[in-house]
Structure 1
Amino acid sequence: MERSRAAGLPQGASCAAIHGAGTATIPCHDGLSGDYSVKKDDQKNFVIFAVLAALILFGWPQITHWIFPQQQPASVKIEGGKTKPVANAGTDPAADSPKALRDRQVVLAETPRVQIETPSLRGSINLKGARIDDLVLTQYAETVAKNSPPIHLLSPSGAKGAYFAQFGWQGAGAETPDANTIWQASGPRLTPTTPVTLTSQSATGQLFRIELSVDENYMFSIRQTVANNGSAPVSITPFALISRAERSADPDQWAAHVGPIASAGGAAKYVNWKDVDAEAQQFATTGGWVGYTDHYWLTALVPDQRVPVALQQRPTPAKGYQADYQLSDPINLAPGKKVTYNSRFFAGAKEVKLLDKYQDELGIVKFGHAIDWGWYGVIEQPIFYYLDWLFRLVGNFGVAIILLTITIRLLLFPIAQRQFASMAAMRAVQPKMKALQERYKDDKQRQQQEIMKLYKEEKVNPLAGCLPILIQIPIMFALYKVLLLTIEMRHQPFVAWIRDLSAPDPLTPLNLFGLLNFAPPTFIAIGVIPILLGISMYFQFKLNPAPMDDMQKQIFSIMPWMMMFLMAPFAVGLQVYWITSNVLTIGQQWLLYKKHPALKEPIKKDPPKKEAKAK
């Protein structure tokens, strides 16, 4: 549809007839003049559509920033036609902070330590203060490079990014160990088969013991015992804390929580950093836990699930953060008596199956909710488990996503058949509906009554065509969160340059696929996969019969390319899902058009009034 000068037609543009009611002679930019059949409603609709398109195109990034989890930064970049890993900017939360004090290795060497060695962890326990303050996740690398260092989760106080757990006692009538106490260790190494016991003797006669054991994954078991060998009774309570010098480098979002977290009263509590800055957050509960969650990592103190405790998230004087718990009621310990308290400490990756296993087997309340599944958790978790099963079956996550898409389309095929049948019936009654609209154009209420009566007589449902779309929306959002929230998808390759399905496509033709030393702005850096998405949508819309309404034609013509821009920053895995779905839809439409040929036939328009009168 071409426009006049008033609508912004460029110099030298040709003129075209616009069919509609009313005609006008409008001067053209090429010096010609012609008769135009201008439909004012179409012009108004076009303006509305243009405004809406602009709002969507430019407002979409702000909407997605708030509603959707933010995309992971690109894992690779294309330079000189070669794929190169990108450093993980979110690994060390204080790497560029003025709080960074001394080198991590220097601080580690200053105190006596017990080494930690498991299939999943490597690090050490600081005997000064009984702290677990040195932990590396051996199964996860910072980048996709083959020689990438592993993720550093915990670091000691005095080093950059200080982040550690500490265990101890508080009480009256006894001298309890503090942060400067040097504990004695029963062995030099903590492994899944060799537990370690730390002991400390107080000047008031109390013997303190911390028995530490660890499984093959990320769960430590803590057994705290105090024996009152003194001459007087003491009132004492065990405690545990996690200290964090700074906030996580991962963004905290509405749809993907990062930061302080707790489970209390049978519900997960996602606490904002700013709320903790304002005042300490306290939760009284029997059964639960408290800690900090990053996008993929978690630290959590798990008290005895049968004993009432007070969980707390609080700010520290050094503008850091501390999660801790202590018993609701202190323990009165008579001379010659001892008491033992059992708890756990988790520090590791938020692996879905592992968190669910700890929740079920150890009875840790809502431990699986360390992953912020949100409202669609009932859909997201089945999708994850099925997708993970497909991945283990075929060995490639991209192929698993394609198989997932095929499965979903097969499940929705009966609904699609009913949709197409309804569309065919709706198309057949269009002339009758137009006649009713013309007959009762001055009585809108009667018009609606007659149209609804027509629907009932013809047994058609105008909303049936929306059902597959309504079903697809939660599935798309659920898959989106699965791809971005679960660590199982992190750094998963597909083919060629796609080294991370949870990140955007790094390959764009705007810099000749990395051959030019030029980084296009994010808004226009459209990757190859989003371009394929736009092409697949174009052919899908092309297969549909052309709508009668000009505004709908304009929307359908521009929609594929708008979606190409809107989807470009999203995870490649989601785009692979959508492309596969479009290809399957094209094949499905071809089959159903053969079954319902009426859908391909153009709707006959009513003849103009003058011509009808002449007849």
Structure 2
Amino acid sequence: MQGPSVDKHNYRNMILAGILTVTILLGWDMAMRYFYPAAPAPKAVASAPAATPSAAASAAPKRTREGGLTNPADIALEAQDIKTALASPARVRIEAPGLSGSINLAGGMVDDLTTNRHTATLNPADGAQRIFSPAGTPAQQFAQFGWTMGEGAPAIALPNAQTVWTAPAGAKLTPQTPVTLSWNNGGGQTFTLTYAIDADYMLTVTQGVSNTGPAPVAVKPVAQLNRTDKTAALDSFNVHAGPFGAFDETVSFGPNYKDLAEAGTLPGEGQPNWIGFTDIYWMSTLIPEKAGATSDFRSLGNGIYLANLFYPQVAVNPGQQSSRVTKLFAGAKETEVLDRYEAAGIPKFGLAIDWGWFRWFEKPIFWLLKSLFNTVGNFGLAIMLLTLIVRGIMFPVAQRQFASMAAMKAIQPKMKALQERYKDDKPRQQQEIMALYKAEGVNPLAGCLPIFLQIPIFFALYKTLIVSVEMRHQPFALWIKDLSAPDPLHLLNLFGLLPFDVPSFLGIGVLALLLGITMWLQFKLNPAQMDPVQQQVFAIMPWMMMFIMAPFAAGLLLYWITSNVLTIAQQAYLYSRHPQLKEQAQKDEADMKRAKVRSK
């Protein structure tokens, strides 16, 4: 019996394997995003304020990819509570290029921070993205610096969450004007918190204690982050959101909030280089200036979590003073900013972005994309230019692919003769076919190379669109206002004309339709498959990929559509260079149609 060789089956199976690899990589993440719903508390350190979450805090939060409050009642309550909390005069304004906000003199807490470079939503009228919110608000997240009692020395009064610190009159924290808060315990000890801020997202906090009393005192400096998980981003298998840090110069993306809630307390995994909480685009971290600190994560219950730095005990003799410096990062995970901090001495800070195992490939793709954006000023155009560069680099590979297809077509008569001669001896048939390939200089798997070369590039762009805040809220043209979000126009609600939300897995938008159509055209230009099963697979694949890709970032679909269009143009050009392939493709399609007619 004559038919396609085992090697042709392998060739096509490898193509299908490549497509299915992408499907698995992306389909799992889609399933996680669609189906993910969204121990007694240990005693907090002395300087930590009491957790006072809202009544809805006990309910499991519904999380989104980006994070933020999702409960309408919480959103309304947050706006009200923020307005009330920030109306207090006991605050020191923060005004810097990267951050705005205030320091609460009650507790000396940094509990009010918004980014000046990123808006909360696509609509600028909704205001800046909030990073920190005061204690007791639904979105509470803040940093506090204090002390606990040391050992072997008399007890003294220490500042706590209710302590009201004193600030200089008219104090304002800017990159040019640090601010020092002070508090005297009435027993001879004066405590100070000196805040400095840079042009990005880093505060430097100096905890000082001076002793004018008659006896030595011993204290242990503490730095702490406190946050609710109600604003946490979705933690998925390929992008972590939750507690994290760098320990012994190794970044650890874990544990997640659920694990921490079950454990109660989890110590750091070694000497802390930095520790804190991360969402997809934002993070807050504590960075000890010197070695010697220890750290842990804690759950206080009701969805409130702590990240702690504990410093060694210091003895302060009469007439002396002591200080400890901690840096606080609170803001957007901008690649260039994090890399600058790492170059300035913070170990592995650039890896706070969860690039994953393939960062060696993803970061160069991101660098190229960012460079193209800086040139053309539009990330959509930058993605299209990136696609053009990728296709241009792979054009010689595609030429070899078509040359290999031409060679395969040329030796088909010889292959069919071998298949007929050794139809009852499959091992010998395979051996003779392989010898024919070697004699004719044909590689039956050469056509798979372009597909497998594109997979890492495609995945790198996919990850870049997920984790890079630089891509957030970046418009392309017409209705595409955010390339990092799905296409907002859906077929099933008549592209927004009907007032209902389409489930994500049915949200077929304009870009998804274009992807399916261009992929179908691309497959139509390929040589026809003689195997009926493969015919069905290749007929269904474009529309299956249309459904799979529809919920993903518009930028990813734009890349794939552009790649399909360039592939179609490339195929048309190479068919003009190899007319025998086009003729054979037309002949195969005609044979298929005749076979279908006969089967009826």
- TM-score under structure 1 normalisation? 0.81
**What corresponds to 1:119 in structure 2?**
97
Gaps of 5+ in 1: 1-19, 22-47, 74-86, 608-615
Aligned to 1:326: 310
Residue 81 of structure 2: aligned partner: 103
| 1:283 alignment partner AA | G
- 2: CA distance between counterparts of 1:459 and 1:320? 66
Change (3 A) 1:191 1:384: same
The question of whether the paired residues in 2 share the 8 Å contact of 1:69 and 1:256 is answered with no
Equivalent residue, structure 2, for 1:140: 118
Q: 1:556 aligns with which of 538, 542, 549?
A: 538
| Residues 1:296 and 2:261 are matched in the alignment | no
Distance 1:231 1:317, change over 3 A: farther
Pairing of 1:569-588 with structure 2 (within 5 A): 569-588=551-570
Q: What are the within-5 Å matches in structure 2 for residues 291-370 of structure 1?
A: 291-304=276-289, 306-327=290-311, 329-361=312-344, 363-370=345-352
Q: Are residues 1:92 and 2:69 paired?
A: yes
Determine if contact 2:232/2:241 at 8 Å carries over to the other structure: no
Please report how far the alpha carbon of residue 181 of structure 1 lies from its aligned counterpart in structure 2 after TM superposition. 1.4
Structure 1: distance between partners of 2:99 and 2:208: 26
Which residue number corresponds to residue 205 of structure 1? 188
Cα distance, 1:370 vs structure 2: 1.7
Percent sequence identity over aligned pairs:
48
* Larger mean Cα displacement after TM superposition, 479-488 or 591-600: 591-600
After superposing the two structures, state which structure 1 stretch, 242-251 or 215-224, moved more.
242-251
For 2:365 and 2:27, locate their aligned partners in 1 and report how far apart those are by CA, in whole Å.
27
CA contact (8 A) 1:232 1:334 kept: yes
> Quick one: structure 1 residues 278 and 511, their matched pair in 2 at CA, closer, same or farther if it must change by over 3 Å?
closer
Q: Which residue of 2 aligns with 1:254?
A: 237
Residue 254 (structure 1) shift: 0.7
Q: Aligned partners of 1:67 and 1:150: how far apart in 2?
A: 29
Map Cα deviations across residues 316-343 of structure 1 (whole Å, 9 max, x no partner).
145410001112x322333322222222
Alpha-carbon offset, residue 183 of structure 1: 1.2
Q: Which residue of 2 aligns with 1:78?
A: none
3-state SS in 1 of match to 2:505: coil
C-alpha displacement of 1:432? 2.5
CA distance in 2, matches of 1:459, 1:88: 51
Which residue of structure 1 lines up, in the alignment, with residue 214 of structure 2? 231
2:582 corresponds to which of 576, 600, 613: 600
Cα distance, 1:291 vs structure 2: 0.8
Q: Match for residue 481 of structure 2?
A: 499
**Alignment match of 2:506 (pick from 524, 532, 555):** 524
**Residue of structure 1 equivalent to 2:258:** 274
Structure 1's 68 and 375: CA in aligned 2 closer, same or farther, altered over 3 A? farther
Q: Closer, same or farther in 2 for the Cα pair 1:339/1:519, shift >3 Å?
A: closer
Q: Determine if the alignment matches structure 1 residue 480 to structure 2 residue 457.
A: no
Q: Is the 8 A contact 1:91 1:152 kept in 2?
A: no
- Give 1:454 deviation, angstroms: 1.9
Aligned to 1:165: 143
Question: 1:138 Cα deviation (Å)?
Answer: 2.6
Structure 2 equivalent of residue 371 of structure 1: 353
Residue pairs, 1:2-21, within 5 angstroms: none
Cα distance in 1, alignment partners of residues 503 and 398 from structure 2: 39
Question: Contact between 2:373 and 2:379, CA under 8 Å: does it hold in 1?
Answer: yes
Give the Cα–Cα distance (whole angstroms) in 2 for the partners of residues 330 and 434 of structure 1.
Answer: 84
Matches within 5 A, 1:46-61: none
Could you say which residue in structure 2 is the equivalent of 1:130? 108
C-alpha distance in 2 between matches for 1:400 and 1:70: 32
Show the counterpart of 2:595. none
Deviation of the 1:164 alpha carbon: 0.7
The corresponding residue for 1:382 is 364
Q: Counterpart in 2 of 1:242?
A: 225
* Offset at residue 135 of structure 1 (A): 1.2
Amino acid at match of 2:401: Q
Cα distance in 1 between the residues matched to 2:215 and 2:124: 61
Match of 2:47 in 1: none
Match of 1:283 among 268, 271, 275: 268
- What is residue 420 of structure 2 aligned with on the other side? 438
- Structure 1 CA distance, aligned partners of 2:351 and 2:34? 16
Give the Cα–Cα distance (whole angstroms) in 2 for the partners of residues 238 and 472 of structure 1: 52
Instruction: State whether residues 135 and 155 of structure 1, in contact with CA within 8 Å, keep that contact through their aligned partners in structure 2.
Output: yes
Q: Is the contact made by 2:383 and 2:555 (CA closer than 8 Å) also made in structure 1?
A: yes
Would you say how many aligned residue pairs link Structure 1 and Structure 2? Answer: 539
Q: Secondary structure at the match of 1:602?
A: helix
- The offset of 1:426, in angstroms, is 2.3
Counterpart AA for 1:512: L
Instruction: Summarize the Cα distance change of 1:352–1:536 in structure 2 as closer, same or farther, 3 Å threshold.
Output: same
TM-score, normalised on structure 2?
Answer: 0.83
Point out the structure with the larger helix share.
2
* 8 Å Cα contact 1:523-1:565 kept in structure 2: yes
Mark the structure with the bigger radius of gyration: 1
What is the deviation of 1:391? 1.2
- Deviation of the 1:487 alpha carbon: 0.9
Paired amino acid for 2:288: P
C-alpha displacement of 1:89: 8.7
**Separation of aligned partners in 1, 2:509 and 2:200:** 38
Q: Does the 8 Å contact 2:197/2:204 carry over to 1?
A: yes
Kindly report the root-mean-square deviation, in angstroms, between the aligned alpha carbons of the 2 structures. Answer: 3.1
Any stretches of 5+ residues in structure 2 without a counterpart? 3-12, 39-63, 592-600
1:428 aligns with one of 399, 404, 410: 410
Aligned to 1:63: 28
Give distance in 2, aligned partners of 1:323 and 1:94.
Answer: 25
Give CA deviations for 1:240-268 in whole Å, capped at 9, x if unaligned. 00011334342100111111111102111
